[in-house]
Structure 1
Amino acid sequence: MKAMIRTGILAALMAIVSPGHAQTSATHTSAATPAHKPVAAKTDVSDRTLVKSLPGFRNGYATVNGVRLHYVVGGKGEPLVLLPGWPETWWTFHKIMPALAGHYTVIVVDLRGMGASSKPADGYDKKTMAADIHELTQSLGYDKVTIAGHDIGSAVAFAYAENYPDATDKLVMMEFPHPDDSLQTLPLLPAQGAYGDRLGSARPNLWWFAFNQVRGLPEQLLAGRARLEQDWLFHYFLVNENAVDARDRAVYARAYESAAAIRAGNAWYQAFPQDVIDNREYGQLQMPVLVMGGPAYKWMKMVVGQRAVNISAVDIENSGHFIQEEQPELVTKTMLGFLQGAGG
């Protein structure tokens, strides 16, 4: 009888301290995701642990432009800044960082709202985010850097080059241009028979561009469940799904599991209308620019080519959207060839 009373009291306390705990646990142990929970539960995916797997790199933090940014730095030589995209973190570059660090001081930054960086209420337009990075590089003692980005990070890198041309040596953009007026012409619905669960050669239906515009609801739906959305995106966008493995997915799920992280990541998309307005005021880029793309190659080449005087464009074949994870050797070789003079 006493045991039953103790059990009842414990259950009541658990309900008070962690309402919904039982529901969350049931969700993560459902038949749909049995293989994922052991990895997430047993694998330490903290930045401290992850950076130990990359000899010569270390974590750093800086408060600039009103935000606290987390970055990972290593290597030697001239500065090369890498900016990640959605729904990932600095870890997206872990396969190419060691090789690049043999030639450059590599600085990989979690953007405003990403990973261990702070998540303020505003400032997610790419011009402001570029100012974050500029103040960071200045605080690290660099007057001029080469800047590279993937996805949202690519748009921020472009904004950096436009707003700080004298502080930009070369620009590398991967899989996403800076938002321009063409984004406002994207169709809401796909063509008949053109939509599936894998991208293939069809034009993507970018439904998350619209979903991420909604304020408040995505956080309620995805807090603690970001892995569901991420797994769908990786399945859709990867040619080889194993290129983003179980540990990688645990890293990204942890980074976006909170309501604050989801809100901040969505804010990058909610700022697109302002980015489009800013883009109208931008001029021609004079520094060497490298564009690399998988599914977005033709789009990137066309849009960036309208702004860049000196552009090199490379189609990363046999890859989906996450080219630095799916084809790291080719991406590294292409970047090094460009940075060491082939593109300039």
Structure 2
Amino acid sequence: MATASPGYTQTSTTDAPAATHAHKPAAAKTDISDSTLVKSLPGFRNGYATVNGVRLHYVIGGKGEPLVLLPGWPETWWTFHKIMPALAEHYTVIVVDLRGMGASSKPTDGYDKKTMAADIHELTQSLGYDKVAIAGHDIGSAVAFAYAENYPEATDKLVMMEFPHPDDSLQTFPLLPANGAYGDRLGSARPNLWWFAFNQVSGLPEQLLAGRVRLEQDWLFHYFLVNEKAVDMRDRAVYEHAYNSAAAIRAGNAWYQAFPQDISDNRNYGQLQMPVLVMGGPAYKWMKMVVGDKAVNMSAVDVENSGHFIQEEQPERVAKSMLDFLQSARE
């Protein structure tokens, strides 16, 4: 199911201009540029850094030890805007648009999670931090895991939300859902992750979706949200703009096209020794099982009454769980 796109405009430059939607009412325009969005979060500012051959956009604010937040598909740094103020009361919060995301550059390669983790490591080092706590959602969760595996000495604690690092279990997922078990809402059924396969295709998705990516995004939000109002019209306009160009679709899909390499890298990863927290809504049991095989000191939180986007549907619960974990003494 898809709803009509609201009338929002973006003032910052991107790889390609968003398509013009004839049905947008001219009187309903609102600025959704990063410079405007960050003004709604007192104490935060935009930053840019060229590291590991890419230019990364990040948003930083708060006080205390560093906490890095990494978003996932099909969103941007804005996905954490509901929890950033609470976290910033205790930590210097650094929210990064990953390689290929939002205002960060979109190179032709380097979308395996090990390389993307190197991006984040170079960024944190350039900001003067030798060690950080790191958290991620969805694709960002996989990158956070790769960061902890490849830079354990630079990782204080790890928080993973709603997606583990790709492992061999991904290759067992069925192409077709069970008979009668598939609808337009997730509910309690096992998800049919058709976009995992769709995003593997090179070239075609951007031809089909450039200028109208909102159709796909609205379907995903409808499917995965318990409360659809948790990702409101402004939020959706932000994400629509971020992924509406062919370059953005190509880059976001490249995160999925790198899964075979990620799975191969995962086979060589050892046990994580730092404290690890996994949080999940629909993916809770899967996360607990997969990450539990790699973490010797893991805690798990089942975020009830939430779909995939837990930080947007249950921000108070997510922020409290993160703070309780991050502030707990090492065992």
SS in 1 for 2:104: coil
- In structure 2, the residue matched to 1:313 is 300
Tell me, yes or no, if structure 1 residue 115 matches structure 2 residue 115.
no
Q: Find the partner of 2:250 among 263, 266, 272.
A: 263
Query: CA shift at 1:43, angstroms?
Result: 1.4
**Change in 2 beyond 3 A, CA 1:28/1:319:** farther
What aligned pairs does 1:57-72 form with structure 2 within 5 A after superposition? 57-72=44-59
Query: CA shift at 1:40, angstroms?
Result: 10
Distance in 2 (alpha carbons) for counterparts of 1:40 and 1:259: 27
The aligned amino acid for 1:116 is A
**Change in 2 beyond 3 A, CA 1:39/1:305:** farther
**Change in 2 beyond 3 A, CA 1:39/1:160:** farther
Worse-matched range after superposition: 333-342 or 207-216: 333-342
The aligned amino acid for 1:282 is Y
Distance in 1 (alpha carbons) for counterparts of 2:231 and 2:26: 14
The aligned amino acid for 1:80 is L
CA radius of gyration, larger in: 1
- In structure 2, the residue matched to 1:11 is none
- In structure 2, the residue matched to 1:244 is 231
- In structure 1, the residue matched to 2:6 is none
What aligned pairs does 1:135-154 form with structure 2 within 5 A after superposition? 135-154=122-141
Query: CA shift at 1:147, angstroms?
Result: 0.3
Worse-matched range after superposition: 267-276 or 40-49: 40-49
What aligned pairs does 1:59-138 form with structure 2 within 5 A after superposition? 59-138=46-125
Q: Which runs of 5+ in 2 are unaligned?
A: 1-16
Length, aligned pairs only: 314
Higher relative contact order (CA 8 A, sep 6+): 2
Query: CA shift at 1:28, angstroms?
Result: 4.7
Distance in 2 (alpha carbons) for counterparts of 1:253 and 1:214: 21
- In structure 2, the residue matched to 1:198 is 185
Distance in 1 (alpha carbons) for counterparts of 2:71 and 2:31: 21
- In structure 2, the residue matched to 1:214 is 201
Query: Per-residue CA shift, 1:242-266, capped at 9, x if unaligned?
Result: 0000000000000001000000000
| TM-score of the pair, normalised by structure 1 | 0.89
Query: Per-residue CA shift, 1:142-179, capped at 9, x if unaligned?
Result: 00000000000000000000000000000000000000
**Change in 2 beyond 3 A, CA 1:272/1:41:** farther
**Change in 2 beyond 3 A, CA 1:343/1:214:** farther
Query: Per-residue CA shift, 1:26-71, capped at 9, x if unaligned?
Result: x652xxxxxxx34996011100000000000000000000000000
SS in 1 for 2:134: strand
RMSD across aligned positions (CA)? 1.4
Distance in 2 (alpha carbons) for counterparts of 1:40 and 1:174: 38
- In structure 1, the residue matched to 2:10 is none
Q: Find the partner of 2:175 among 179, 182, 188.
A: 188
Distance in 2 (alpha carbons) for counterparts of 1:120 and 1:343: 39
Distance in 2 (alpha carbons) for counterparts of 1:62 and 1:257: 24
Greater helix proportion: 1
Q: Which runs of 5+ in 1 are unaligned?
A: 1-20, 30-36
Is contact 1:40–1:250 with CA below 8 Å preserved after alignment? Answer: no
- In structure 2, the residue matched to 1:46 is 33
Distance in 2 (alpha carbons) for counterparts of 1:45 and 1:263: 22
Distance in 2 (alpha carbons) for counterparts of 1:178 and 1:165: 16
Is contact 1:311–1:343 with CA below 8 Å preserved after alignment? Answer: no
Query: Per-residue CA shift, 1:248-286, capped at 9, x if unaligned?
Result: 000000000100000000000000000000000000000
Tell me, yes or no, if structure 1 residue 273 matches structure 2 residue 256.
no
Identity across the alignment (%) = 88
Distance in 2 (alpha carbons) for counterparts of 1:91 and 1:295: 22
| TM-score of the pair, normalised by structure 2 | 0.93
Q: Report runs of 4+ in structure 1 exceeding 6 Å deviation.
A: none
